Amino acid sequence: MDCVEFESEEIQVAITETLSTACSHKNCRALVTMHCQKYLANLMTSKNQKLKTTAAVALTKIKLDEEKSPGDEKQDVNSKIRVIDEDEALLSDLFERAVLNDEVDVEVRVSAIEGLAYSSLKPTVKEVITYHPTLFKEIFNLIQEEKTNNALCYGVAVMLSNITTYRRRLSETEEQYLKLKKLAGEASNLEPDPVDDDEYVINRGKQVMKLGVVRALTTMSKCSSEMIRQIVAKIFLNLSTDQNNRGAIVQQGGIKVLIPLATKGPKETTAYATQALAKIAITMDPSLAFRGERATDLVRPFLALCQGESELCQFEALMALTNLESVDDDIRMRIYDAKGIPIIEGLQFSDNVMIRRASTECLCNMMFCEPVYEMYSEIGESAANRIKILVALSDVEDFETRRASSGALAILSTSPNVCKMIAERPRGIDLLKDLISEQSIEIQHRCVEIIKNMTKVDKKMVETLVRAKVHEKLAEFIKECKVEPVVEIAVEALREISKYSSSNRE
């Protein structure tokens, strides 16, 4: 550094690029800050645009490090932050002007985008660059022109990721720790910036969607760099978190990008893409969202998501599978072939009520798959244990879980074996009497359907129902229920009971 200023501009550019690259690494950055920061600051007055922009990128990395460091305790903290903010505002403005200047070399514009990518770690910078009238339009145009430029794609991907990423939710332990730090007066600089609140992230996502981000992501997903593809998948996940963006993602061809990302590549990439697809599959009609695409290819990624550690991912994957199952026999068969039933059944034992509910709803839809129906209705201990679980879940506090499990039993009760297994449960018949007394017509409908099917099994089954006074419950229900189709089912069940009663009297 003692003689660098005497070198030619070409050599200084090479040295500055080296310093900028070095600043990406913590230990190197500390040395650059100590020995080279003054030189880099002096370059900000250079007339060489490439030299000036590259130096600005290095300084941006250093400034971000300065902000994270505690600094001199005697220095006024607010004053220090104000200086950093002013410096970064100048740097980000320089980067913006360089990107918008189509007369400079592409390399200079790429360096400027790298600088913006680092600057966008700052919440205030995220807002400024997101709502710049022409900045992102120019960046997206540059992406289309320089499709094979990995450095460009990486910088844009990082920038978009920073802009669209939601603040991580703190665990209960972390929240308690933060409260203790606040009480001790040690958390003044730990307060989250309000510009990173969900409301701001959602609005930034809407803005980049309007500017055509999906087209840019489509182009970047074809890059040879797996890291870029991973960040692209993460951006899609960020954008799909806002339900209002999901339709636009589908309309603009995002599904064609996400399915390959979800089915090929390393674990991190596939996990991000799969969760994004799950969010879309939950709220949109699968026949529209995946029109022309092989939705069956999503079964294995969704099942893999079910086996992950994240409860949110488990829940969303189950909901997505449930929605897909409801419209496509091939999906149900693919889940069965992929050995998905044990995975879904395992989640019925989760401590999380939402996951238990989602897994039961998913299984309810699977009862329309013949092999699954047979698994639950065949004679043997395995099927009996499965029915035992459904009966137990029909008696829990959560309404949606009761509705799903009783719905599965209603479908399965067309099998005499299942009817017998329900009756053999210690609380099987009493449970039906409780369900028919519920306020929900949905659950009452399922209950009378089960009872009707039980009355058609044999004389012994009817006698069991009569001894439990189920016929009296049916009679009360018929008088009170106003839903004609459900009343007709109850009347049919009562008629079957009467047939056996009449034969007994004779």
The greatest distance separating any two alpha carbons of the chain, rounded to the nearest whole angstrom, comes to 118
Q: How far apart are CA 148 and CA 145, in angstroms?
A: 9
**Residue 144 scores a pLDDT above 50:** yes
Question: What integer is the mean pLDDT of 141-146?
Answer: 91
How would you write 187-200 as a 3-class SS string?
CCCCCCCHHHCHHH
Determine how many CB atoms are found less than 10 A away from the CB of residue 222: 14
49-74: pLDDT as tens digits: 888 888 888 888 887 665 554 444 33
Lowest mean pLDDT among 46-60, 154-168, 314-328: 46-60
Query: Which residue do the tokens 């996951």 mark?
Result: 355
Q: What are the structural domain ranges in the chain?
A: 1-69+78-119
What would the two tokens of residue 341 be? 């039933």
CA distance linking residue 83 with residue 58, whole number of Å? 17
Average pLDDT in the chain: 86
Answer for the pair 43, 16: CB distance below 8 angstroms, yes or no: yes
266 within 8 A of 232, measured Cβ to Cβ: no
The pLDDT of residue 406 is 94
| Residue 191: other Cβ atoms inside 10 A | 9
Q: What is the pLDDT of residue 23?
A: 85
Q: Is the pLDDT of residue 187 over 60?
A: no
pLDDT, residue 72, reads 41
Mean pLDDT value of segment 455-477: 88
d(CA 235, CA 215): 13
CA-to-CA distance for 61 and 22, rounded, in angstroms? 10
The residue to which tokens 């137990």 are assigned: 392
pTM assigned to the model:
0.83
What's at 87, amino acid-wise? D
In tens, the pLDDT along 110-140 reads 888 888 888 888 888 888 889 987 898 999 9
Least confident of 172-186, 291-305, 369-383, 408-422: 172-186
Split at pLDDT 50, 70, 90, the class of 271 is very high
* pLDDT value at residue 80: 33
pLDDT digits (tens, 9 = 90+) for 320-349: 999 998 887 889 999 999 999 999 999 999
Three-state secondary structure of 141-162: HHHHHCCCCHHHHHHHHHHHHH
Q: Which residues contact 354 (CB under 8 A, 6 or more apart)?
A: 311, 315
What is the DSSP track for 434-502?
HHHTSS-HHHHHHHHHHHHHHHTT-HHHHHHHHHTTHHHHHHHHHHH---HHHHHHHHHHHHHHHHHHH
Query: How does DSSP classify residue 44?
Result: G
- Nearest to 37, CA basis, from 81, 72, 87: 87
**Which has more pLDDT, 484 or 73?**
484
In sign, the C-alpha dihedral spanning 442, 443, 446, 451 is negative
Residue 225 near residue 150 (C-beta atoms within 8 A): yes
Average pLDDT over residues 184-207: 79
Cα–Cα dist 465/499, whole Å: 13
CA-wise closest residue to 166 among 191, 192, 189: 192
Which pLDDT score, from 0 to 100, does residue 178 have? Answer: 67
- Angstrom distance (rounded) from CA 443 to CA 432: 10
User: 505: which 2 tokens?
Assistant: 């009297």
Question: Do 408 and 400 form a contact (C-beta atoms < 8 A)?
Answer: no
